[in-house]
């Protein structure tokens, strides 16, 4: 089987480019071959050499080479700061190159809608959004159980994402990750909400299959910081159920603590990223814990194909991200006409991207209006 | 040492009367000797026989016998439904009998203020409110660490209390506990909030020493239920910090799941009732877990006297409740002039009771005003 | 209901006398009324005053007063160091006084057999041995599940009990608990094995209903200590299954860490004292966690009567010990001819006491013979 | 940076070949380019096509092509059943090809010593043994802490590895993994011990730096099975400390449950594979939990280079195995004369392989002699 060829836009400076590089490489069915890794030509050359790929200081040159048949590419991964996503995503879609885009989808609502409009036109050009946690098989199982009726009607959803790395004004020290994430010009209207609150939201909505009608939010920031670093939202879901979303980047002690508790009329489902290979189901009397790769009755054929190693040998963050690439890969292979491609899972894309942006706009507005409910 | 003599008002029907009976008896320094256990004389006689105490169908007769010197009593424990607390508490205070009162303090705000007014006049008549969880030594330690500056300035408090026993309309089946708790005439203006939300609030405020300025709330109830069974509140604490309080009685799978996460500028403290003998402190790099009865530097002399068995032999709910009785007992023994009484801990009383009532009034008002912020 | 009257032998000096005092008092159906709390008359008087009971410097005087009708007693609790158990237990049995005896049953095998012989003759005088952990309802449930066939044939039992308090030569500092436990003249042939290894053994055998055929042991002690402080045994159970018993008093960090993992042909059952209200059952695919007070299909009527508070409000060590007193209390009330006494659970007694002594003798012999298998 | 080229011997049939393939690919600094994936030419061609590598039905042909300059290779990974390791490892060493060999090192002691002899001669040909768990950064940190004196003298080591997948006679159903592992002709003298007991041993010895003097073992197997499926060993370590090693493949409910508890004179260290990113240190009063990628004082420069993603984004089994390949890669790059190669960690090799074999021989002998102590 021939490996898919991947181009990367961004990734030379931040840590997440290498994370995607590894997630792409892990299965040995995909490889990064080219990258607009940095805007500075010297830096780009340095990173390209380190990564062992062809470097382009400008992503447009990479697309141009591909169009000219000088470079083989099957899809592109975008890992730039938020304010750059839209231009790059639109250029790829326009050119006909499938995309794995980092979240949030864009800097502004207007941009998000532009991407959605183009993506809907380019139906043969798959567009994926890297909501990594949805790639965890146990979150995929949660989705199948809940949407299959296991816990009855969803009544309340608690979803959370807590970190502590911005408990001091780290951005004042020159730390690059902190600098762009707390800068409205690069991140957009929300800091914590955009960076991790949207993960908490999409984890919950993608799993339950529910929409979001309106929100009441409380956002705060440390003195001296322009964007929220603590982001808490009550919401009403499309079926009337209550959403409680809490996220923070000043929660000292929490490294990357996300998960959810979903309460239904017949039972509950809970998942936490820190023990991502377990899924807990409560029927009121007992707690039943499922483990990855142990088939649960009703598990879809598609889900069964996402495990790599026997139960007990844990797969985790990198494997979850790799699963998103696998879903995209399978769609691309089908479009290319390959036979016997395993079934692809329906991971987040442009719709979830637009939803995330609407959510941020509404939450920021509500917080400014002292918690008044704002519709999406 | 002579045992203190305790009278009980209520307790014959519900489960919590026996819980107080055991908490009072545990240390063999207190004993229940009389009880207005039930309003029905036959039932009262039956319970009095079972408990081995003198029964009174009317609590006023019990107080009268004590005043007449026919009955020895050192204090009274009130375990009736909420709407009866005020009359009984006022009668005890008026008579000069110390009280351990179940929470919430009263049915209405007006009643709460009346109790407070009388309690302030009767300074020599101790009045305790049974916020049981504050009796856990590790919550007491959390209070000492936080108020001693261990985590710096408090920035965010997440406090929660989740149960699942009202996930169906249990009150329609004749179940007595459910019936009075979901009945506005017996419980007051809030169901879940009054029953367990106030615990979550007082746990957080008593531990941090902070007050509450205003709240924005979302309360819901299953169709067919008059009072909230899901109660979620954002708040602003007296130092400006954010409060996130979530409580539910429809959270299937959660039995009695309360606890808090308190984030400060220098570290965090976390406690959960399900593992009540552990307290977690995070400095950002590591998690340090303290265990009951292992002295931590700075632990007060008073706290050290509250442990009964060596570390590892867990004390839990009944022992925590017994600790509240111990605090009351010690105050009474000092007032009686006994020597060498161990130092008494400052557990919740009438002030916390009034605070809890103000909180419920504000939360109910905010929820009716679609989440608008309401000051206490 | 009239409270049972309890006399205590020992308990004034050590910590465990007060633990029994509280476990006896907790349910308000029993009370300690007299005690041979200390051999020194002045100390005895001091403790008797503190406890609020009648003090006897000599336990024989207490028994004599009871026989003379000067003191009302329903049973006696023995909490003296091991070398005193036999004389005291025999005197009580001889006099016709039921006994709750601390474990191990005795100092020597010979004494154990003498107690057993007399107990078998005095069938109307109940004799209980305080293997506290068997009083945990979830261990009682484990016993019912396993003996009811839930996990098929038992194939392997891992049982453990780890503490760290003797990781230094604490006995050289004058600490009383350490001094007698490490002294062969007061403890017998084994230190760690006698103190906690027998708990680990009886927990496993009482739960599974299996006997022990032979053992291969490795016992060690820190230099300067006369009795083992680390005690590890392989065994063959009566059905041929393997026993792995590990216990230690030098396992720094472990406070009182006991539990078991029992593997059968159809599933497994696991319990750990540190989370004593949970019982885990594995069927190979999932883990099912049961919680106290949630009725599991097949739970006996007797077991259902041992819970005090609703699920989620944890009962723990003191309540487990109180349950052993409850079992003894119920037997005594039946013998006294009381009506409507709740069913009594079959907690450990003299048979388990003799078994524990045989086990110690065999393990010590095996360790001396460099691990050779020794039959019981 | 040019990727290292890797050849694989075996791997087409079993699951672990693909695991190594992914661990090799993950970092995008190594790639599998050729493989003797199966002895059947048609199957080998099929797998080679799937993997996208050059296939060789005979590993000797692969080595020959490399020697003839027709194939570029930097090292070889051996993932065949145990009885084939020696011949293949010797051929690679002889040819001068570095090796990553699956454990156990070989089928017999004689073979193990032959490999060691040749490896010692070929000092410039690195030889690594894939004891995967030693690649977990938190086990590497445990090693640094313990060998740096953090817990004082090691007194007792409990190491374990429990699985449940052989709780039935799975090998009778044709399941391939079970078939060869329970077949003495393919596995050697021990089943459970060879497959997972050696992991438990090397985890403990590599971490503590201690040797093993003698063992007393109890091995059992289900009726109808030729090799042990339950393998328990007491041992004496080189400093006199006690080893308790328990491993099982009939422990229903345990998927891949390995870890250790190491007790020293000043503290303890505990690690468990199921939560592999946490390391627990106990000082007697508190438990301190370290997390991956949070620098602990004294962490070596080499260890710091093994983390891929920020703390909280868990790395797990595949990343641990990749770390062993990284250590081998770095040694090879240094030998090739590359500059600025990061420091390489000292992961297990031929010495640990021989130690594992000696351990199995001694344990099997002891079990046959009814637990008599056997020296290594």
B158 in A contact zone (CB under 8 Å): yes
Point out the residues of chain A with pLDDT beneath 70.
none
A158 in B contact zone (CB under 8 Å): yes
Minimum-distance CB partner of B257 among C49, C163, C312: C312
On whether both D197 and D299 belong to a single domain, the answer is: yes
Task: Please enumerate in sequence order all residues whose Cβ is within 8 A of that of C279, keeping only pairs 6 or more positions apart, or say none.
Answer: C138, C139, C141, C142, C145, C269, C270, C271, C289, C290, C291
On whether both B13 and B143 belong to a single domain, the answer is: no
The rounded Cα A25 to chain-centroid distance in angstroms is 18
With an 8 Å Cβ cutoff, are A51 and D32 in contact?
A: no
CATH assignment of the domain containing A58? 3.40.50.720
On whether both A152 and A227 belong to a single domain, the answer is: yes
Give contacts of C372 with chain D, Cβ < 8 Å: 370-372
End-to-end CA, chain B: 45
| Chain B: closest CA distance from residue D255 (Å) | 25
Q: Is the pLDDT of residue C156 over 90?
A: yes
Closest residue in chain A to residue B236, using alpha carbons only? A218
pLDDT of residue B163: 97
What the block records as the tokens of A206 is 């993608």
Mutate to test the interface with B, among C5, C28, C307 (most CBs of B within 10 A): C28
Q: Which residues are registered as beta bridge partners of A217? A: A233
What the block records as the tokens of B335 is 């007032």
Query: Where are any strands of DSSP class E within chain C?
Result: 4-9, 30-36, 54-55, 75-78, 99-101, 127-129, 154-162, 212-220, 230-237, 242-248, 257-264, 268-272, 278-282, 287-291, 374-375
With an 8 Å Cβ cutoff, are D52 and A28 in contact?
A: yes
With an 8 Å Cβ cutoff, are C373 and D373 in contact?
A: no
Strand pairing class (B127-129; B99-101): parallel
A115 vs A108: CA distance, rounded Å: 11
Handedness of CA B119, B123, B125, B131 (dihedral sign): positive
Per the domain annotation, does A88 fall within a domain? yes
Q: Which residues are registered as beta bridge partners of B101? A: B78, B129
Per the domain annotation, does D122 fall within a domain? yes
User: What residue numbers bound the domain in which C234 lies?
Assistant: 137-300+354-375
Task: Please enumerate in sequence order all residues whose Cβ is within 8 A of that of C307, keeping only pairs 6 or more positions apart, or say none.
Answer: C137, C292, C293, C315
A-facing residues of C in 255-314 (CB < 8 A) are 285-291, 294-296
Mutate to test the interface with C, among A275, A282, A285 (most CBs of C within 10 A): A285
* 3 state DSSP class of D210: coil
Chains that touch C (3 or more CB pairs under 8 A): A, B, D
A22 vs A19: CA distance, rounded Å: 5
On whether both A11 and A80 belong to a single domain, the answer is: yes
**Angle in degrees, CA B249, B254, B257, rounded to 5:** 90
Handedness of CA A311, A315, A319, A324 (dihedral sign): positive
Q: Which residue intervals of chain D are DSSP H helices?
A: 16-25, 41-51, 59-67, 85-95, 109-121, 137-147, 176-181, 184-187, 192, 198-208, 301-304, 317-335, 350-368
On whether both A72 and A158 belong to a single domain, the answer is: no
Per the domain annotation, does D166 fall within a domain? yes
C12 vs C17: CA distance, rounded Å: 6
CATH assignment of the domain containing A275? 3.30.360.10
D222 vs D216: CA distance, rounded Å: 21
Per the domain annotation, does B314 fall within a domain? no
With an 8 Å Cβ cutoff, are D288 and B285 in contact?
A: no
Q: Is the pLDDT of residue D362 over 90?
A: yes
| Chain B: closest CA distance from residue D245 (Å) | 25
Closest residue in chain A to residue C293, using alpha carbons only? A285
Range B282-286 contact pairs with CB under 8 angstroms and sequence separation of 24 or more: B282/A164, B282/A252, B282/A253, B282/A254, B283/A252, B283/A253, B284/A164, B284/A167, B284/A252, B284/A253, B285/D290, B285/D291, B285/D294, B285/D295, B285/D296, B286/D288, B286/D289, B286/D290, B286/D291, B286/D294, B286/D296
Give contacts of D270 with chain C, Cβ < 8 Å: 253
Q: How far is CA A39 from CA A80, A178, C157, in A?
A: 11, 20, 63
Among C93, C20, C8, CA closest to C350: C93
Nearest-Å Rg of the Cα atoms of chain D is 20
Closest residue in chain C to residue D222, using alpha carbons only? C155
Give contacts of C158 with chain D, Cβ < 8 Å: 246
Per the domain annotation, does A313 fall within a domain? no
Give contacts of D197 with chain C, Cβ < 8 Å: none
With an 8 Å Cβ cutoff, are A286 and C287 in contact?
A: no
With an 8 Å Cβ cutoff, are C232 and D244 in contact?
A: yes
Task: Give the percent of chain B with pLDDT over 70.
Answer: 100
Segment C83-139, tens digit of pLDDT: 999 999 999 999 999 999 999 999 999 999 999 999 999 999 999 999 999 999 999
Per the domain annotation, does A311 fall within a domain? no
ipTM of the complex: 0.95
Side-chain half-sphere CA neighbours of D161 within 13 A: 18
With an 8 Å Cβ cutoff, are D289 and B289 in contact?
A: yes
Minimum-distance CB partner of B316 among C15, C26, C315: C315
Per the domain annotation, does A315 fall within a domain? no
Per the domain annotation, does C305 fall within a domain? no
Mutate to test the interface with C, among B27, B136, B255, B338 (most CBs of C within 10 A): B255
With an 8 Å Cβ cutoff, are C251 and D268 in contact?
A: yes
Mean predicted confidence (pLDDT) in C228-234 = 98
On whether both B203 and B246 belong to a single domain, the answer is: yes
How many Cβ atoms sit within 10 Å of the Cβ of residue B69? 7
* 3 state DSSP class of D374: strand
DSSP H or E run through C225: none
- pTM value is 0.96
Give contacts of D311 with chain B, Cβ < 8 Å: none
* 3 state DSSP class of C146: helix
On whether both A121 and A164 belong to a single domain, the answer is: no
Minimum-distance CB partner of C28 among B51, B274, B312: B51
Q: How far is CA A87 from CA A76, A83, A94, in A?
A: 14, 9, 10
Domain tally for chain D? 2
pLDDT of residue A151: 98
* Residue B58, φ and ψ in degrees, nearest 5: -125, 125
A15 in D contact zone (CB under 8 Å): yes
* Residue A87, φ and ψ in degrees, nearest 5: -55, -45
The count of CB pairs under 8 A between chains A and C is 32
Minimum-distance CB partner of B253 among A244, A254, A284: A284
What the block records as the tokens of A367 is 């917080």
On whether both B234 and B142 belong to a single domain, the answer is: yes
DSSP string, A89-149: HHHHHHHT--EEEPSSS-SSHHHHHHHHHHHHH-TTS-EEE--GGGGSHHHHHHHHHHHTT
D168 vs D172: CA distance, rounded Å: 9
Give contacts of C287 with chain A, Cβ < 8 Å: 288-289, 291
Segment A211-226, tens digit of pLDDT: 999 999 999 999 999 9
On whether both A159 and A102 belong to a single domain, the answer is: no
**Angle in degrees, CA D304, D308, D309, rounded to 5:** 110
What the block records as the tokens of A22 is 């590894």
> Do D162 and D258 touch, CB atoms closer than 8 A?
yes
Segment B160-200, tens digit of pLDDT: 999 999 999 999 998 888 998 999 998 899 999 999 999 99
Mean of the per-residue pLDDT values of chain B:
95
Minimum-distance CB partner of B289 among D287, D290, D296: D287
Q: Is the pLDDT of residue C267 over 90?
A: yes
How many Cβ atoms sit within 10 Å of the Cβ of residue D240? 12
On whether both D26 and D151 belong to a single domain, the answer is: no
What the block records as the tokens of C63 is 């028994």
| Chain A: closest CA distance from residue B171 (Å) | 16
On whether both C260 and C188 belong to a single domain, the answer is: yes
What the block records as the tokens of A103 is 């979240």
If one compares C62 and D296, the residue with the highest pLDDT of the two is: C62
What the block records as the tokens of A111 is 């941009």
Mean predicted confidence (pLDDT) in B72-79 = 98
Minimum-distance CB partner of C252 among D248, D254, D284: D284
Q: Is the pLDDT of residue B298 over 90?
A: no
Q: How far is CA D112 from CA C139, D82, D203, D354, D366, in A?
A: 47, 11, 19, 6, 20
Q: Is the pLDDT of residue D298 over 90?
A: no
B111 vs B89: CA distance, rounded Å: 10
* 3 state DSSP class of D230: strand
With an 8 Å Cβ cutoff, are B22 and C308 in contact?
A: yes
Q: Which residues are registered as beta bridge partners of B54? A: B34
Task: Please enumerate in sequence order all residues whose Cβ is within 8 A of that of D135, keeping only pairs 6 or more positions apart, or say none.
Answer: D319, D320, D321, D322, D323, D324, D327, D347
What the block records as the tokens of B190 is 């809030």
C229 in D contact zone (CB under 8 Å): no
What the block records as the tokens of B239 is 């130092």
Strand pairing class (B374-375; C4-9): unpaired
Task: Give the percent of chain B with pLDDT over 90.
Answer: 91
On whether both A74 and A145 belong to a single domain, the answer is: no
Minimum-distance CB partner of D22 among A32, A308, A312: A308
D50 in A contact zone (CB under 8 Å): yes
With an 8 Å Cβ cutoff, are C294 and A288 in contact?
A: no
| Chain B: closest CA distance from residue D301 (Å) | 18
Segment D308-345, tens digit of pLDDT: 998 889 999 999 999 999 999 999 999 999 999 999 99
């Amino acid at each position: 089987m021939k490996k898919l060829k991947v181009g990367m836009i961004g990734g030379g400076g931040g840590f997440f480019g290498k994370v995607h590089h590894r997630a792409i490489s892990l299965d040995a069915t995909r490889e990064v071959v080219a990258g607009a890794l940095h805007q500075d030509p010297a830096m780009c050359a340095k990173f390209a050499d380190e990564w062992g790929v062809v470097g382009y200081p400008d992503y447009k040159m990479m697309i141009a080479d591909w169009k000219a048949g000088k470079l083989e590419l099957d899809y592109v991964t975008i890992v730039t700061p938020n304010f750059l996503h839209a231009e790059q995503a639109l250029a790829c879609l326009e050119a006909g190159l499938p995309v794995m885009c980092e979240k949030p989808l864009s800097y502004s609502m207007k941009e998000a809608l532009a991407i959605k409009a183009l993506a809907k036109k380019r139906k043969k050009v798959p567009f994926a959004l890297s909501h990594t946690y949805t790639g965890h098989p146990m979150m995929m199982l949660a989705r199948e159980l809940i949407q299959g009726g296991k816990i009855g009607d969803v009544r309340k959803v608690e979803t959370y994402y807590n970190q502590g790395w911005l408990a001091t004004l780290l951005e004042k020290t020159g730390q690059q990750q902190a600098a762009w994430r707390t800068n409205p010009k690069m991140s957009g209207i929300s800091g914590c909400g955009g960076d991790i609150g949207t993960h908490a939201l999409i984890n919950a909505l993608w799993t339950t299959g529910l929409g979001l009608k309106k929100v009441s939010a409380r956002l705060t920031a440390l003195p001296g910081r322009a964007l929220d670093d603590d982001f808490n939202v009550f919401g009403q879901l499309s079926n009337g159920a209550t959403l409680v979303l809490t996220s923070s980047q000043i929660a000292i002690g929490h490294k990357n603590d996300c998960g959810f508790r979903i309460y239904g009329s017949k039972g509950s489902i809970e998942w936490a990223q820190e023990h991502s290979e377990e899924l807990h189901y409560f029927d009121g009397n007992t707690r039943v814990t499922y483990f990855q790769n142990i088939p649960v009755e009703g598990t879809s054929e598609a889900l069964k194909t996402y495990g790599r190693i026997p139960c007990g040998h844990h797969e985790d963050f990198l494997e979850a991200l790799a699963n998103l690439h696998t879903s995209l890969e399978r769609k691309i292979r089908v479009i290319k006409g390959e036979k016997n491609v395993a079934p692809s899972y329906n991971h987040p894309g442009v719709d979830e991207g637009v939803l995330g942006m609407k959510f941020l706009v509404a939450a920021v507005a509500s917080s400014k209006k002292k918690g008044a409910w704002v519709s999406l």
